[in-house]
Structure 1
Amino acid sequence: MFYKRLVTMSNYKYNHILFNKTVTIYTQRRKKNEEKRINVTILSTKRITN
């Protein structure tokens, strides 16, 4: 729904910028989550070995 509205808007350049922004935000969020997960696994393995 949201994407359709984005495409139907008249200014294509604006749409493109908006879309790129959302993508970058999403990828950054995913990277953060992955880093958190990696840190958690490292902590858990350390706990097991000690």
Structure 2
Amino acid sequence: CAAVIFRHTDQYFGGKHRDLTHQIVHVSLAVCQRAQQVFLFQTGLKGQ
């Protein structure tokens, strides 16, 4: 998840703003993990 976001963001900025890219990835990763937890929680409820 994060590697893809980093690669796309890095390409978007043309290899510049690496620190900003890392910040974006850091935030995106937190969102990804949250979304996965919610998704697993919901699918877990459906499974019962």
TM normalised by structure 1 equals 0.61
Structure 1 segments (4+ residues) deviating >6 Å: none
Q: Judging by fraction of residues, say which structure has more helix.
A: 1
- Larger-gyration structure (1/2): 1
Post-superposition CA distance 1:6-42 (Å, at most 9, x none):
562x222111010111111111111101000111112
SS of 2:27's equivalent in the other structure is helix
In structure 2, the residue matched to 1:36 is: 42
Which structure is richer in relative contact order (CA contacts within 8 A, separation 6 or more)? 2
CA RMSD of superposed structures (Å)? 2.1
Q: How many aligned residue pairs are there?
A: 41
Displacement after TM superposition at 1:2 (Å): 2.7
